[in-house]
């Protein structure tokens, strides 16, 4: 359901907009937030770009990333764009707490499968590799000029969500869009270097600790990342974004699982699959979400019982 025209009508009729994505943002969430924000500013609109968490260190190279705020104050908006995330409680912080009427119309710009949307207008393209692809389509329909900065932001969303143009969501359309962004000023190598070749040394120490926990059975491979490991490696969790790809890289492993301890005593579970398993369905069993090949959820409890429960569910889907 991609109602581009309704989104365009909201943009044309309003003047002050809020844009927000999920907490613990990734390159698609932050890149889409800022790209949409800057595009709207080019149309003469006032924009607040929000994230409840700080922009992770490896995304701080993105143009205007220092303009993303983590507090709202008591401002009111004509519309709120939720990008890459369909639930206000996943945006969390001030946006989750805000009165609905201060947010104006809620517009969902996304590429995730979703079950319960809290949105007034839904612009979701489940075939888009990244939310950034939906944002670009919107700009093309409006005729917004793509500046080199917006091109960089959108190209970053493509790289992150398509695994550098390798995953099954890499379509001819995505590559054509990517070509347009390069012509508009995006530099693939500069972006990849900033994203993947700029890790702090603590990354290796943390990876060593996490790989110690690797285990596999029945086509499932898993690793654990605890708060204790973060402390021991003096690392921040942002550096672990790609760690789940190690268990998935093993021949014969169909589903990879990362169990990550959150500060709150809860566990964040990430799922990745190679081909036939739809991990969205597994995550949805635990009130999570995502896509067929990448999904996640959060569960409260002790690791041993969570592991047994989650791996038991994964086995049912193999
Ligand atoms: P990751 O494992 O990288 O955090 O997330 C993989 C995919 O699943 C992303 O598209 C992300 O937005 C989605 N996802 C991760 N955790 C959750 C969750 O708790 N709820 C929902 N709805 N989606 C999630
Ligand atoms: Mn995304």
Statement to judge: residues 220 and 244 lie in one domain: yes
Statement to judge: residues 16 and 109 lie in one domain: yes
Q: How far is the CA of 296 from the centre of ligand 1 (A)?
A: 4
Q: Name which residue sits closest to atom 10 of ligand 1, judged by CA.
A: 290
Statement to judge: residues 161 and 91 lie in one domain: yes
- The count of domains in the chain is 2
Statement to judge: residues 128 and 225 lie in one domain: no
CATH number for the domain harbouring residue 287: 3.10.310.30
Order across the sheet with 121-124: list the strands. 46-50, 16-20, 79-83, 105-110, 121-124
pLDDT at 116: 65
Statement to judge: residues 186 and 207 lie in one domain: no
Statement to judge: residues 152 and 116 lie in one domain: yes
Statement to judge: residues 76 and 156 lie in one domain: yes
From the CB of 37, is ligand 1 less than 6 Å away?
A: no
pLDDT at 115: 63
Q: How far is the CA of 270 from the centre of ligand 1 (A)?
A: 7
Q: How far is the CA of 81 from the centre of ligand 1 (A)?
A: 19
pLDDT at 264: 81
Q: How far is the CA of 86 from the centre of ligand 1 (A)?
A: 11
In the predicted model, what is the mean pLDDT of residues 84-112? 95
Q: pLDDT tens digits for 104-124?
A: 999 999 999 876 678 999 999
**Dihedral sign computed on CA atoms, order 279, 302, 24, 90:** positive
Closest ligand 1 atom to the C-alpha of 280?
8
From the CB of 170, is ligand 1 less than 6 Å away?
A: no
**Mean per-residue pLDDT of the chain:** 96
Domain boundary (142, 167, 195) is at 195
Statement to judge: residues 172 and 215 lie in one domain: no
pLDDT at 252: 96
Domain boundary (195, 215, 238) is at 195
pLDDT band at 74 (very low <50, low <70, confident <90, very high): confident
Statement to judge: residues 30 and 176 lie in one domain: yes
Pocket test for ligand 1, best of 92, 290, 291, 294 (most atoms within 8 A of CB): 290
Closest ligand 1 atom to the C-alpha of 112?
10
Statement to judge: residues 226 and 151 lie in one domain: no
pLDDT at 311: 98
CATH number for the domain harbouring residue 142: 3.90.1640.10
In the predicted model, what is the mean pLDDT of residues 142-168? 97
Statement to judge: residues 177 and 230 lie in one domain: no
Q: In the chain, what percentage of residues exceed pLDDT 70? A: 99
Statement to judge: residues 146 and 240 lie in one domain: no
pLDDT at 263: 86
Which domain, by its residues, includes 187?
4-195
DSSP letter string over the chain? -B-HHHHHHHHHH-SEEEEE--SS--HHHHHHHHHHHHHHHHTT-EEEEE-SSPPPGGGTTSTTGGG-BS--TT---SEEEEES---HHHH-HHHHHS-HHHH-EEEEEE-SB-S----SEEEE-TT-SSHHHHHHHHHHHHT----HHHHHHHHHHHHHHTTTTTSTT--HHHHHHHHHHHHTT--HHHHHHHHHS---THHHHHHHHHHHT-EEETTEEEEEE-HHHHHHHT--GGGGTTTTHHHHTSTT--EEEEEEE-TTSEEEEEEEESSS--HHHHHHHTT-EE-SSEEEEEEES-HHHHHHHHHHHHHHH-
> Structure pTM?
0.93
Domain boundary (162, 195, 228) is at 195
CB–CB of 160/27 below 8 Å? yes
From the CB of 290, is ligand 1 less than 6 Å away?
A: yes
From the CB of 295, is ligand 1 less than 6 Å away?
A: yes
In the predicted model, what is the mean pLDDT of residues 116-141? 94
pLDDT at 148: 98
Could you identify the residue written with the tokens 């169909």?
Answer: 254
From the CB of 221, is ligand 1 less than 6 Å away?
A: no
Q: pLDDT tens digits for 299-310?
A: 999 999 999 999
From the CB of 25, is ligand 1 less than 6 Å away?
A: no
pLDDT at 73: 86
Tokens read off for 100 = 């609905």
Closest ligand 1 atom to the C-alpha of 84?
12
């Amino acid at each position: 359901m991609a109602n581009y025209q309704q989104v365009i009508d909201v943009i044309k009729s309003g003047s002050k907009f809020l844009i927000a994505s999920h907490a613990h943002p990734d390159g698609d969430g932050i890149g889409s937030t800022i790209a949409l924000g800057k595009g709207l500013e080019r149309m003469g609109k006032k924009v607040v770009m929000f994230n409840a968490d700080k922009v992770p260190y490896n995304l701080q190279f993105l143009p205007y990333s220092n303009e993303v705020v983590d507090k709202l104050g008591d401002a009111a908006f004509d519309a709120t764009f939720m990008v890459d995330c369909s639930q206000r409680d996943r945006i969390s912080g001030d946006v989750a707490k805000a009165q609905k009427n201060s947010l104006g119309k809620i517009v969902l710009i996304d590429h995730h499968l979703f079950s319960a949307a809290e949105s007034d207008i839904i612009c979701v393209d489940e075939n888009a590799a990244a939310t950034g692809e939906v944002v670009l389509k919107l700009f093309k329909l409006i005729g917004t000029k793509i500046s080199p900065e917006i091109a960089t932001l959108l190209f970053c969303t493509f790289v992150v969500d398509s695994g550098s143009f390798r995953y099954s969501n890499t379509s001819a359309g995505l590559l054509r869009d990517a070509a347009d962004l390069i012509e508009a000023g995006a530099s693939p190598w500069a972006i990849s270097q900033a994203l993947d070749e700029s890790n702090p040394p603590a990354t290796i120490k943390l990876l060593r600790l996490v790989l110690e926990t690797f285990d596999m059975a029945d086509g499932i491979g898993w690793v654990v990342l605890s708060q204790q490991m973060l402390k021991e490696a003096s690392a921040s969790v942002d550096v672990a974004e790609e760690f789940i790809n190690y268990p998935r890289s093993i021949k014969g492993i169909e589903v990879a699982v990362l169990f990550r301890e959150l500060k709150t005593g809860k566990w964040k579970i990430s799922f990745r699959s190679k081909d036939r398993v739809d991990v969205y369905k597994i995550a949805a069993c635990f009130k999570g979400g995502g896509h067929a090949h990448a999904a996640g959820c959060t569960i409260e409890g002790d690791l041993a019982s969570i592991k047994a429960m989650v791996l038991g569910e994964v086995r049912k889907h193999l």
